[in-house]
Amino acid sequence: MLLGMRLLFYLGSRRIYLIGVDFVMDPTVGLSDNYAFNENRDDAAVRTNNEQFFVVNKWLVEMQNNGTFERFGLEVFNCFDRSGLRAFSYVPFDEAVEEALKHFPREPYDLQGWYVKR
């Protein structure tokens, strides 16, 4: 996730909407229910992931609170309201999509004639 955020910044993104960043694995649910795909993780893996989530959350909260992202002109929002990641403000997914698309034309492009030699 951290590398992904850095790459998006290097590629010119100055506003990032995080999607599906739950930052918590529940050891009480079925071991394959912690992912959006079928993946079995044992209790030790769940515990390790939760410890890692705690550490990364702490780093990101500190960076957000000390203005690191703001100094670089980067805005980050979380689109998951029950996320364990607490560093970034929550924005509903539909609002994030609307904001991301506001500079794009709403009408489809007319592509007729693109393959015709003139």
- Over residues 14-66, the pLDDT tens digits come to 999 999 899 988 777 765 566 666 677 788 888 999 999 999 999 999 999 99
- Spatial separation of the C-alpha atoms in residues 102 and 35, rounded to whole Å: 31
Confirm if 27 and 53 have CB atoms less than 8 A apart. no
- Selected residue with higher pLDDT from 32 and 89: 89
Percent of the chain whose pLDDT exceeds 70: 92
pTM over 0.85: no
Token pair of 5, please? 């955020």
Q: What is the pLDDT of residue 116?
A: 87
- Spatial separation of the C-alpha atoms in residues 22 and 30, rounded to whole Å: 16
**Of the candidates 9, 1, 8, which has an alpha carbon nearest to the alpha carbon of residue 71?**
9
The confidence band for 73, taking pLDDT boundaries of 50, 70 and 90, is: very high
- Over residues 2-14, the pLDDT tens digits come to 999 999 999 999 9
- Selected residue with higher pLDDT from 106 and 81: 81
CA angle 77, 82, 4 (to 5 degrees): 40
DSSP string, 5-72: HHHHHHTT--EEEE-S------TTS-TTTTSSS-----HHHHHHHHHHHHHHHHHHHHHHHTTHHHHT
Q: What is the pLDDT of residue 31?
A: 56
